A and B are shown apart, each in its own frame.
Chain A
């Protein structure tokens, strides 16, 4: 190690630009939300006045905020679906078989496709005359012409957002499970085969327990992902027909309602909710915590 004093100065020079941008655009916003939450702040006037808990009272009394919060929590229903889908896909493509790498790439493709562009196509999928209603009629699920207006009918619009989220992100979890499967020692599965274990028994008693760390990590990531659902709503339904989520509420309060105080209060509550859930899950993760050690 070089001379301590000199080294420290150089280290700060290395870190300072990054830390400065980080402080201004990541840390400061958290504090600013906390301040905004207690202000009457309208952008046009650029004037702020302390208003105690008025913004929170407003939120408590706002039916739109209740629906948004409920929808953010309902989005958690996608977590088990995405876990099952991701793990299933990983099991399907992890063994060498001609062409599996192509299938892996195909399943991952939605993750890298621009969300706004994907949203446009899915608007047509969910169209009254679109693919989804056609498929449901063809499969005999419902008679011709009985299909719902998926994106504009209350009760269905959030389902559309969920289906879109599943399509968009399941490939991401497939890759994480593939990493986990790669760590399952071959000898263990082969030993189980010699012991006469069928495919289900092998999965239940060998693969599944060994995938536990990845499963916990994936659940954490998917939970945060589901809670922060926002752009998915924006590009699919625009938040109409009861499909708005908490972050959409924040966005609309600020940029359409021009009430930054209410937006700040909602953002603060939401940040605390996410922090709480992440803290609980990180505790459950224990030694599987991916952030606790270098991998």
Chain B
């Protein structure tokens, strides 16, 4: 359908206007972080353009907080979570989709039910459990409760159901055990969905703030989401320029990851719950 040019212009104007709304906090942060001279921070609209641009404040971040340590912790926690979620939910989803056993409806129903409940109500009981297990202030304590992802099981079950039954039956006829069927036939055929789950889990784990903040106490064990927030809202928040530079540095990994994988997020077959 051809559109007249005033309509096209109006749409571009609308899109640009909303893009400004989405981006301005970070454009401001970037500009302030890049300005070596911090005096213009509160002068608008001038504050959106860096004065004497330089990397001064970005270098200061490394001196003021264990930034690389936070990044390393985030990487470790995210990698452990992704590996754990895949190891648990792929066999579980496969069994729910392709195997018949007593209790499968109850199990799947219970998992679906919790999708509509806020997982945040579990933080107090889970903290008690984690402390009984002696896992407070450990990375294992952060990762463990996030492993049995109801969304992951849901996604895996739905995608394994799409596989043609003949392929799986053929493998069984050839004498493959269920583990071999899963690892050699079903999982390789289901890689797109597994990849989607891995990426969603990675982003969620990287961004997880509340639970790590509850479990971890030692500063050098904190992931970036908690460490940077604590440092920037506590006594270290001496300079707004430093805050903005650190914020930009903390956001860059997420933006890069998102840019590389945005097709998973923007063309979703199944989106996880928000936030």
Contacts and interface: CB of A to CB of B under 8 A. Distances in A.
Given A129-B42, A231-B210, A115 B28 contact: no
Nearest to B173: A2
A93 B15 contact: yes
B82 interface: no
A131 B244 CA distance: 14
A26 B229 contact: no
A225 B275 contact: yes
A278 B116 contact: yes
B71 interface: no
In this complex, the member of B87, B243, B271 whose beta carbon has the largest number of chain A beta carbons within 10 angstroms is B271
Nearest to B85: A18
A127 B119 CA distance: 31
A224 interface: yes
A18 B89 contact: yes
Interface stretch (A54-62, A63-71, A262-270): A262-270
B209 A103 contact: no
Interface string B238-275: 00100110010011001101110010011011110111
A288 interface: no
Contact of A119 (B153, B177, B229): B229
B121 A33 contact: yes
Interface string A272-295: 001100100010000000010011
Nearest to A270: B121
A92 interface: yes
B122 interface: yes
A116 B228 contact: yes
B95 A15 contact: yes
A140 interface: no
A161 interface: no
B23 A106 contact: yes
Contact of B101 (A8, A103, A121): A8
A114 B22 contact: no
A250 B121 CA distance: 8
Interface string A90-104: 001100010011011
A175 interface: yes
Given A2-B172, A92-B11, A172-B271, A113 B115 contact: no
B100 A7 contact: yes
Contact of A28 (B94, B104, B129): B129
Q: Which of A2, A36, A220 has the most CB of B within 10 A?
A: A2
B128 interface: yes
A89 B18 contact: yes
Question: Which of B8, B144, B229 counts the most chain A CB atoms within 10 A?
Answer: B229
A117 B206 CA distance: 12
Given A7-B100, A112-B254, A115-B207, A107 B91 contact: no
B158 A114 contact: no
Instruction: Please name the 9 residue pairs, one residue from A and one from B, whose CB atoms are nearest each other, closest first.
Output: A228-B118, A29-B125, A29-B122, A18-B92, A22-B148, A21-B148, A14-B95, A116-B229, A32-B125
Given A15-B95, A105-B262, A175-B266, 18 more contacts: A14-B95, A18-B88, A19-B107, A21-B145, A21-B148, A22-B110, A29-B125, A33-B124, A100-B15, A106-B23, A109-B23, A112-B257, A114-B250, A167-B22, A168-B275, A178-B266, A225-B274, A291-B112
B259 A105 contact: yes
Contact of A26 (B11, B122, B210): B122
A50 interface: no
B6 interface: no
Nearest to B228: A117
A274 B118 contact: yes
A139 interface: no
B235 interface: no
B226 A116 contact: yes
